[in-house]
Structure 1
């Protein structure tokens, strides 16, 4: 795939598409609060705010992209139904939104997805197919359903409408904190990062966008260093929603993250564990490991305020409750 192909593809994801997404999803979604964190502000040497995306109805930011993509489908596709593959949160979002619109949904997940998420997907009335040990295997099954049954696939990240939907978070941040300095975003497939970065960089080019992920199986992080998408075996981590490949034929998120990221960082399992504890003890928030990666980077002293506010994206709260409580107790 040539670089010029990347550029041509990227034009389908532009700041205008994010404004359009905002208008499209507004009747269905609420704006999430931005909460200042005194304890993290003290550690970073300047104001730190938490964007509480874990307060979305499905407990994750994924609802924005899923809603935008499903609402962009024509009536015929909606009637036939939708299918997706996911490490859990995107599957929940698609199942929830399909139920709001009264359309059938099939969610393909790997055996690694915590039961907390699979039970909730079933409760939303979606058909659940558990197959394989990785998101890539779940994706294969999903694409098979597209061929066999004509279901519309709602990709978890590498898609213009998904990216634009997640980018609506960036528009909200610009309105509430016009002088923001750094936005720290959990980094996995790159849909969340690409959307927010596109919204912010096109309005506030001097803001710094930082992607944070866990040390094990950090596929996007290592792909950026190799200069091309790679595959890695999935390892156990507290940040399980950041697992999964980015697709060897990635068309949108890899080039956008490569172009827009000012920095990408890895944080340790211990750092994630301490951050889960900090968010619980100081803010009474129980979030998933992925949502705690930004706080872990601040605790490690890797991110400083430098005179302008920092925003951490709290991406979701759909963790295995037992696992989070154990992490909190350990810390």
Structure 2
């Protein structure tokens, strides 16, 4: 029987990654608090050195390797942010990193990976293609495969984000985060509900290609076509052999929502105008869900994980057009 992760695993992860991953600010959003008549807090993991929360899990995974595995190096697949985080962690720890991505990854993330010190492999038209190539390289070259989400060390690392939220605002009763492979929601859910079992954890995905939500509805992991989205970080499947995040998302996520591209665009523009932040579509889906689904938040204490800032000019321009604004005003 597979051992379950516990809050102690998240505390161990925090000790491991201290000094390399930041303890990021949790700031109050006055604009959203007024708009929804509640207390809104923003967890700014977009301020991590690699521009996303993914650094937490990447560091914990590499620091958990055996010495021989560190020497041989690691391989992963990514939609961009995890690969960048793993490359950064590998550079600081002296571990060779190979990152496999698909042709759907935006150019800005491809260029960042090229400059990261990792060996970059572009293969296939979706994340599943890139994953198959990563596993082939694992077998061919004897590399350690580091999953971007479905791994206990990665999940525990991402859970440190939730631990920080609850230490600063233990009365938070509703937490929103982007939902893709489930590593963030699994780690957040474990941390948050260990402190406050009554707190609700809400996952949000884009309208098309929401693999985890489709899998949860079916009761087992499904393969879902990957499509272009402003929330490109949320693309890709969860793996038909998913060992960790599917079950943990079932257990810890209370609700899941899908949001349309126009709503994601409007939420991204809210962050620009009201919060003075440029964020990825995946970082804005929680705000989009509240607006699109007209969620009643009056009197509640709500937190949103602002998960990343690795936004391309092209994606930002597309968001402006969808939101009915003039793109060149901000580029």
Aligned position for 2:5:
13
Aligned position for 2:85:
93
- 1:193 and 1:319 map into 2 onto residues whose CA distance is 22
Aligned position for 1:295:
287
Residue number among 24, 28, 38 corresponding to 1:32 in the alignment: 24
Say if 2:127 is the partner of 1:107. no
- 1:323 and 1:183 map into 2 onto residues whose CA distance is 26
- 1:216 and 1:301 map into 2 onto residues whose CA distance is 17
When structure 1 is superposed on structure 2, of 127-136 and 38-47 the one drifting more is 38-47
Name structure 1 gaps, 5 residues minimum: 1-7
Residue number among 200, 216, 220 corresponding to 2:212 in the alignment: 220
How many angstroms does 1:29 deviate by? 1.4
Name structure 2 gaps, 5 residues minimum: 324-331
TM-score for the superposition, normalised by structure 2: 0.95
How many angstroms does 1:103 deviate by? 1.9
> Structure 1, residues 231-270: CA drift from partner, whole Å, max 9, x if none?
1111111011100000011111000101111110111111
- 2:296 and 2:65 map into 1 onto residues whose CA distance is 43
1:1-331 to 2 correspondences below 5 Å:
8-9=1-2, 11-328=3-320, 330-331=322-323
When structure 1 is superposed on structure 2, of 25-34 and 56-65 the one drifting more is 25-34
Residue 68 of structure 1 aligns to a residue whose secondary structure is helix
Residue 77 of structure 2 aligns to a residue whose secondary structure is strand
> Structure 1, residues 129-176: CA drift from partner, whole Å, max 9, x if none?
000011111111111111111111111000000000000011101111
How many angstroms does 1:321 deviate by? 2.1
Let me know the Cα RMSD of the aligned residues.
1.2
* Residue-pair matches, total: 323
> Structure 1, residues 16-73: CA drift from partner, whole Å, max 9, x if none?
1111001111121111111211221123220111111111000000000000000000
Asked whether the 8 Å contact 1:43–1:298 carries over to 2, the reply is no
> Structure 1, residues 286-312: CA drift from partner, whole Å, max 9, x if none?
111111100111222543334331001
How many angstroms does 1:324 deviate by? 1.1
How many angstroms does 1:330 deviate by? 4.3
Asked whether the 8 Å contact 2:38–2:301 carries over to 1, the reply is yes
Asked whether the 8 Å contact 1:44–1:303 carries over to 2, the reply is no
Residue 27 of structure 2 aligns to a residue whose secondary structure is strand
Asked whether the 8 Å contact 1:171–1:200 carries over to 2, the reply is yes
- 1:203 and 1:300 map into 2 onto residues whose CA distance is 30
How many angstroms does 1:283 deviate by? 1.4
After superposing on structure 2, the runs of 4+ consecutive aligned residues of structure 1 that deviate more than 6 Å are: none
- 1:33 and 1:146 map into 2 onto residues whose CA distance is 37
